[in-house]
Structure 1
Amino acid sequence: MGFFTDTSVCIGCKACEVACKEWNSVPEDGLSLLGMSYDNTGMLGADTWRHVAFIEQDRPLGRQNNAVALMPAGPSSTGRNQEVVAAGLGERHGAQLGTDTGAVRPGPDPGGPTQPVTADGRTELRWLMASDVCKHCTHAACLDVCPTGSLFRTEFGTVVVQEDICNGCGYCVPACPYGVIDQRKDDGRVWKCTLCYDRLTVGQEPACAKACPTESIQFGPLDELRERAAHRVEQLHGAGVTEARLYGDDPDDGVGGTGAFFLLLDEPEVYGFPPDPVVTTRDLPAMWRHTALAALGVAVAGLAAFAGARR
C-alpha cells in the first residue's frame, strides 16, 4: 500500500499537515511564515511528517493549448470535482490567493488561446505546491542500519519507527537518501510518517489522504496507483502540460521504487528531491567483504611474523 501525490491539483491548503498532526499527536513546530512564501514548516522533520512546499516560479501561467486539466479519476473522485476544476477552480483560487492551482480554463473560441488562470489576468508567476512525506522505500537504508530493530517493515510494505525501542543512535538519519528521518531535540529519538499504521490495521485510509479536498493525495495498492498515475500523466500531456512526470514510481530505480511517489510539474530538484536517489547502504556487502579480506590479510601477516620470530 502507498501514496500517489498528484501535485498538479494541490492547492496548498495544508489540510494534510493538520490532519497528520492531529491524528498522530505530532507536536506543533512553528506557526510563523519563513519570510519568503506561505511555507511555514520548511522541510520534513521529527515534528513535520507532512510538509506542503510552496515553490514560486517566474514563468507564464495558463497557456496549455486550449485544454482543461481535470481532477484525477480516482475511485473516490466525483463528476462535481471535475466540473469545479473545468469551470475555473484555478481562477477562483487565483483571485483569493494570488496563485495558480494547476487548472486550465479554455478560451471562448475553439482552437484559440486559453484564458489566464488568475481573475485579474496576471501571468507572471506560478506556484508549484506539493505535499511531501516519507517515501517508504522498497530498499530502505534506514532498516539496514538500525541496531535495535526499532525500524521495521509492516505487512503493508511501509516502514515504521517504534519509538519505545529507538535508542536515539541516529544511524538512520544520514542513511536516508531523502533526508526524511529526524531526531527530536528533547529525547534524541527519531520520528517520521508511519502511513498511519494504526488506521491501516482497522481498514481506514491515512489521515492526510482522508483530509485532502482535491484528492491530490491518493492512497491504495501501489500497482493500482501506478496505473492511475500513468493515466494521469497521459491526460496532462494531452492537455499540453508536457512537463508532467512521475517521480519514485519506477521499481528499477536506486531504491527499488518508493511507497510514496509523485506527479511533478518540473524537475525533481525544483521540489527538493534528489534526481537519482540511491539506497545509501548498497555498498555495504562489498565493504564488509573488503574488510574481511583485509582482516584476513592482517591475521596472516601477523602469524607469519610470529612464526618468523619463533624461528
Structure 2
Amino acid sequence: MLPDPNSLYGPLDPAPDAGYENAPPRMGFFTDTSVCIGCKACEVACKEWNGVPENGLDLLGMSYDNTGALTANSWRHVAFIEQPRPAGHGASPTDVLGAPVGAGPDRPVDAGTGAGTGPQFLGMPGAQPPGRGTGVEERTDFRWLMMSDVCKHCTHAACLDVCPTGSLFRTEFGTVVVQEDICNGCGYCISACPYGVIDQRKDDGRAWKCTLCYDRLGAGMTPACAQACPTESIQYGPLDELRERAAARVETLHERGVPEARLYGHDPNDGVGGDGAFFLLLDEPEVYGLPPDPVVTTRDLPKMWKRAGLAALAMAAATVAAFVGGSS
C-alpha cells in the first residue's frame, strides 16, 4: 500500500506504522566522519558476519578506496576523498575521547589553543608529528575526508513501496531488510532508492544491501561494523539518543573551530522523513557522493494512479457514449 503523500514529510515511527505492537525503540547508526581513520574494519566485519563475497581486490588506481561504492558485495563502503585544506582551517581535530589529536610527549598541547603544536589534520592517516624520526615531510595543503557509507534505512522507504514480492520488509527495529530468498530480481527497488544503495549480484540478479545486522539485533548484539570500529566513528543505538549525541558533537566541533561540521540525514522533516543511518560530515553532502536533498521517489505515485484512474474512467465513458450514439 502506497503512503499518503500528505504524510511523507512529517515525523513517523516506522515500526508501529508497519503494524508492530509494542515495538522496541527505533535503532540506527550515527557515523561520525570526523574520527574515521579509514581502517576499513567495518567493511571486513560486515563481510565476515554476513557472508558477503569478497571484492575490491583490484585497486582503483592510486586510491585507497578499493571498493569504490556501495554494491551488492559491499554493504559498508569507506570512501576516501582527497581535497585542498579549507581556507582558514586552523583548528585541531580531536579523537573520540575529545583529546586533541597529535598531543603527546613529543607533540605537546599548546596552552593557548589546546591544540597539538605543528600541522593539524582531520582524517589524514600516516601524518607523522615532528620528532618521530621518520624522515617524511608533513603535508599541510590537503586533507583526506573519510566516510563509512551504508544503507540509510529511510523512514519513508521507496524500496518498500515498489517491491512486488514483499522481499523488502520493515523490521520491529524500524530498519529495512531484504529477504533474498523471495527476491525475484525485478530491480524496482534499485531505481527507487534515492541514495543508490541497493544493487544486484550479477550471478543471480537478486537485490542485496545492509540489514543493520538484523540477526544480531534480535539477539541484543551490536551490528558487526559498529562493534569492529576502533574509533567509535560508527555508533549504534536508539535513534533518538544518537540524534542528541550527534547534535552535541557538532556543537563541540564548532566550539573547537571546525565550522564546516554538519549533520546529514538526521532531520525527520526532510524528503525521506529522516534516516535510520545518519552522518556527521565535514563538507557538503555532494563531496561524499550523497544527494543534497533526497526525496522519497514514490511520493507522487498516489497522485499519478489517481490521475490514471480518472483518465481511464473518462476514456471508458467516451467509448460507451460513442457506442451508444452510433447504435442509435
- Structure 2: stretches of 5+ with no match in the other structure: 1-26, 121-126, 130-136
What is the TM-score normalised by the length of structure 2? Answer: 0.83
**Aligned residue number for residue 304 of structure 1:** 321
Aligned-partner residue type, residue 173 of structure 1:
I
CA contact (8 A) 1:60 1:123 kept: no
**Aligned residue number for residue 47 of structure 2:** 21
CA 1:126–1:46: 2 relative to 1, 3 Å: same
Residue 124 of structure 1: how far off its partner (Å): 1.3
**Aligned residue number for residue 69 of structure 1:** 94
* 1:192-271 paired onto structure 2 within 5 Å: 192-271=209-288
With 36-45 and 203-212 compared, the bigger mean Cα shift is at 36-45
CA distance in 1, matches of 2:68, 2:114: 40
CA distance in 2, matches of 1:193, 1:287: 31
CA contact (8 A) 2:167 2:180 kept: yes
CA contact (8 A) 1:62 1:116 kept: no
CA distance in 1, matches of 2:267, 2:56: 35
**Aligned residue number for residue 116 of structure 1:** 119
Aligned-partner residue type, residue 195 of structure 1:
L
CA 1:40–1:62: 2 relative to 1, 3 Å: farther
Aligned length: 286
CA distance in 1, matches of 2:86, 2:95: 20
Aligned-partner residue type, residue 37 of structure 2:
I
**Aligned residue number for residue 31 of structure 1:** 57
CA contact (8 A) 2:94 2:100 kept: no
CA distance in 2, matches of 1:48, 1:243: 29
CA RMSD for the aligned pairs?
2.0
SS at match of 1:123: coil
Aligned-partner residue type, residue 257 of structure 2:
G
Task: State the identity %.
Answer: 76
**Aligned residue number for residue 73 of structure 2:** 47
CA distance in 2, matches of 1:290, 1:206: 44
**Aligned residue number for residue 8 of structure 1:** 34
SS at match of 1:215: coil
Residue 33 of structure 1: how far off its partner (Å): 1.4
Residue 30 of structure 1: how far off its partner (Å): 2.5
CA contact (8 A) 1:51 1:132 kept: yes
What is the TM-score normalised by the length of structure 1? Answer: 0.87
CA distance in 2, matches of 1:61, 1:128: 15
Matched, 1:182 2:199: yes
Residue 237 of structure 1: how far off its partner (Å): 0.2
SS at match of 1:233: helix
**Aligned residue number for residue 24 of structure 2:** none
Q: Runs (4+) of structure 1 moved beyond 6 Å?
A: none
Residue 29 of structure 1: how far off its partner (Å): 1.4
SS at match of 1:164: helix
